[in-house]
Structures are given as structure tokens and as C-alpha cells.
Amino acid sequence: MQLPIYEINCLGYRDVNGEGEPSPEARRPGRAVQRVLIANRGEIALRAARACRAVGLESVAVYSEADAASPHRWVADAAWCVGPAPSTASYLNSPALLHVAKASGCDAVYPGYGFLAENADFAERCAAEGLAFIGPRPETIRLMGDKARARAAAERAGVPIVPGSETAFDGLDEARGAARAIGFPLLLKARSGGGGRGMRVAEDMAAFGRLFEQARGEAEAAFGDGAIYLERFLARVRHIEVQLFGDSGGRVVQLGERDCTVQRRHQKLVEEAPSPALDAETRAALLDAAVRLGRSVGYEGAGTVEFVYEPESRAFYFIEMNTRIQVEHPVTEALTGLDLVALQLRVARGEALGEHLDGAAAQGHAIEFRINAENWRNGFTPSPGRLARWRPPAGEGVRLDSHVYEGYLVPPFYDSMIGKLIVSGADRADALSRAERAIGAFACDGIATTLGFHQALLADPAFRDGGIHTRWVESEFLAGEREDD
């Protein structure tokens, strides 16, 4: 039996339980891509299956034994089990994924975000099997996935960069020498991957060795690459990213920025657009820098260029590029009316980006709240378990992207995000007001979630006034014990 899917559609096509026919325009055949393996799970896999239907493509879902009751299985045209619960045996199992893709007649692979989305070796294996990898070319993934090489590429493109090491380090002795030359405080970053893993802040040399080994070990476990890059740490900055798209003809466009400053230990919790911290002149310069970098590397597909921004000096600096779709891409969709996942699929089958997309006119303000199965009052510890009640809000300007439902068993094996609440309004004040009502009406029982965190955040004057920075959540907002839920 197909279970109900609680998702509010804002993308211009019917998608409840995967029903609805694509428009005549969407049925036009593209180059070679007709059947897509969705190499992911959760809400992005569900979203991708619906986007395939919208543009006239067939989809094949994969699932682990732990995800046997996940709705993306039923929305796709076919579904294959690829292994037991651990991601290394299922969603990171490249041979199994490629076998399913070939056996099920796919000609393309959609990686989404996380897992193998930024794995250049996997993209190359797809090509070797005659499968289109829906993302940038392997050499671009490899270039921009290496923090040191990405910095060099940005510098060549005339994009400001934070002072840092010219290479990444496997050994502590060499890293110590570079740390002395750059100066403290230092941000230690994994050369590969993202999502805050393999990142530490060292205030002085006394703490550097211990933190370097921690970061190296975490990076090795998460990405199979323990090399660590060093960067001067800027204490009171905002995190701003630019959504890019490129096509096979060399055209690269920007679709505006998103402000991702609300984060804890480098893990994003809330994203919004446009950034409340940028003036028009700085915004234009930042968007231009992102496009310049994208064009310089011949970028193709969806990607984001990440910056830190100092409000006092109005200076911004490149920090990295994510060569995939982002979790927070619905914020941009809410402002532009575009379906970015469908746009990824169209670009992959050879369609050119239209002139009208460059800086597509954005209207209003949008905010995304990540709903995680975590106990935010106890160090954001994971809270897997069965959802006894799941009653998402509805209303004008309210959208929920989720794969869970009442009675769903949240597994302990994967990322803890169970939904994304996207709220939009005429301006930031309107969006915040709608968000307060939506989160207040969101009923979820059975497990701990971050809904209480978002309620407290919306009531905080510093957040509402925009006076925050990337370390504000842990250093100020959560500095005192909170008992409210």
C-alpha cells in the first residue's frame, strides 16, 4: 500500500504520491538520457523521482534494507534494494549502484547531495559504463573538491580568498610549519568532502596538534582522505553562497545568493534569501565573482560558490565550491519559481540555459528550517525512532519537503534530517511572521526534533535584527541552558 506523502507542491506540477502527467513540452526527447538511476535516499530521492516524471524521464530508485518503507520506492518507476543498512554497503556501494543502473536499463545517474554526489571517481565510473553523471565533469569535481586547488582557481579568476595554505597536509609536522606562517586562529578543513566534517578551529599552537589529529581522523573516516587544509579563521563573519548553473555550451548563470549563517559547528540549520546583510553594491560584486569563477572552470550543472562575509568591512572571501545541488536549494526555488532539480535533468540531456535565467528575477523573501531528528537541548544528539504523530503545517507561502509520515521509523544509520520547512513572504518580516505560525502549528511526536530550536530562534532579537555570525548559535544563542521546547 502506498503511504501518504505530506508535501506541499510549489513547483508547478502535480506530485502528490507521484501522480500527474508531464506537460507536452516536458515530453520532448533529450539527448541519450531517458531513464535515470537515483543514487540517494530520503527527501532528495523522492524529489528527484518527481522531477524525472515532470520532464518526461523514467526513474529507478535504490534503497537499503533500512529504507524498505521509504516513499521514494513507490514514486519511482522501479526500485531495487542495494544492500543492508550501513551506507558503505548500500548508498556508497559503487559497484552495486552501477550494476543496478545497467541491469535496469538506465542511461544516467542522479546523485543528489551527500553520499557519492561529489565523488569524482564515481562520476568517472559512470562514464566508463556509458552512464551520464548528472553533475559536473569528473575533473571539475576533483578540482573544486580539493580546497587548495579550488583556492588557486579562485585566485586565478580574480576572486578574493582567505589567507591559507597552498596545499593540504597529511602529517602534523609540515602542518605546524604552515600554521606558524599563516597565524592563529586557524580553521582546519578536510581537503575532501564537506558538511562540517573534518573541521576544527585552533586558537593557538598549544591546541593545534590535538585538533589536527581529530580533524584528520574524522576526514579519513568520512571521505577516505585525511588531508587537512589550513585557513585563517575569521571570527565574526556571515556565510553566503551563490547558486550557479552551467550548461554544456559554456553558459554559466547565477540564481542569487542564500545566507547560511545560522549553523552549529559548521552544520547549517537555517538558510534564507536574499541575505539581510548585503547591500546592493556588495551583492552585485559577490554574484559577479561567483559567475566569474564558474566560467573560468567551465562549470556544468548545479553548484554553489561559498563565501564568508565581514559586515564591518563589507569584504567577502571565497572558501569553497560545492559541485552538487544543495540541501537548501528550495529557498532559491521559492523566490524564482524554478524547479532546480528538473533544471539539472534538462541540462544533463543537453538543453541550453535560457538568457532569462541569468539572475532570474527573485521576488520576496524565503527561509528554510531544517527539521532534524535531534535533541537540540542535549547537544543535538540523534533521536531515531517511530513518528507517533506527524502533522505538518499548511497555508500560503508554506512548503514542506519530506519523505516521512506518521508511523515512519526514522533509522539511526543516516543523516538525521527528516524534513525541510520552507516559508516565503513578501519581505523578511512577512516570511518570519508566517514561519512563526507554521512552526507553532507543526505537530510532531514520538521523537525529539529541532522544531523547538526554531521556535526559540524566531523569538530571538539578534536573529530577527540580523546581528549574528557563523559561531553565534553555540557562542551566544545556546550559551545558556534552554528549557523551552
User: Is 324 among the residues known to form the active site?
Assistant: yes
What is the average per-residue pLDDT within 271-297?
Answer: 97
Strands of 417-425's sheet, edge to edge?
A: 315-322, 301-310, 238-246, 252-264, 267-273, 365-372, 417-425, 398-402
Q: Which CATH architecture has domain 16-134?
A: 3-Layer(aba) Sandwich (3.40)
> Does 20 or 117 have the greater pLDDT score?
117
What pLDDT shows up at residue 26? Answer: 33
C-beta of residue 230 within 8 angstroms of C-beta of residue 466: no
Query: Distance between CA atoms of 193 and 225, rounded to whole angstroms?
Result: 9
> What is the pLDDT confidence band of residue 358, given thresholds at 50, 70 and 90?
low
What is the homologous superfamily of the domain 238-477 according to CATH?
Answer: ATP-grasp fold, B domain (3.30.470.20)
> 422 forms bridges with which residues in the sheet?
368, 399
What pLDDT shows up at residue 476? Answer: 95
Helices 138-145/147-156 angle, 10° precision: 100
What pLDDT shows up at residue 280? Answer: 96
CA separation, residue 354 to residues 12, 289, 343, 358 (Å): 19, 21, 11, 8
> What is the pLDDT confidence band of residue 198, given thresholds at 50, 70 and 90?
confident
Indicate the average pLDDT of the chain: 90
Query: Distance between CA atoms of 140 and 150, rounded to whole angstroms?
Result: 10
Asked if residue 359 has pLDDT above 80, the reply is no
> Does 393 or 18 have the greater pLDDT score?
393
Question: Letter for the amino acid at 412?
Answer: P
> Does 416 or 21 have the greater pLDDT score?
416
What pLDDT shows up at residue 293? Answer: 98
What pLDDT shows up at residue 31? Answer: 56
Least confident among 5-14, 248-257, 298-307, 418-427: 5-14
> What is the pLDDT confidence band of residue 483, given thresholds at 50, 70 and 90?
very low
What is the average per-residue pLDDT within 141-147?
Answer: 92
DSSP string, 431-484: HHHHHHHHHHT-EEESS--SHHHHHHHHT-HHHHHT---TTHIIIIITSS----
The grid coordinates listed for 47 are: 524529489
C-beta of residue 165 within 8 angstroms of C-beta of residue 180: no
Least confident among 10-14, 33-37, 43-47, 221-225: 10-14
C-beta of residue 116 within 8 angstroms of C-beta of residue 134: no
At the top level of CATH, the class of 163-232 is alpha beta
DSSP for residue 3: P
Least confident among 179-188, 192-201, 254-263, 434-443: 192-201
Q: Tens of pLDDT along 325-340?
A: 999 999 999 999 999 9
CA separation, residue 57 to residues 52, 112, 127 (Å): 5, 16, 19
Query: Distance between CA atoms of 42 and 37, rounded to whole angstroms?
Result: 14
Residue ranges covered by each domain of the chain: 16-134, 163-232, 238-477
The grid coordinates listed for 229 are: 587544509
Containing 308, the helix (H) or strand (E) segment is: strand 301-310
What is the average per-residue pLDDT within 74-82?
Answer: 97
Marked catalytic residue, from 53, 251, 324, 428? 324
What pLDDT shows up at residue 360? Answer: 67
> What is the pLDDT confidence band of residue 444, given thresholds at 50, 70 and 90?
very high
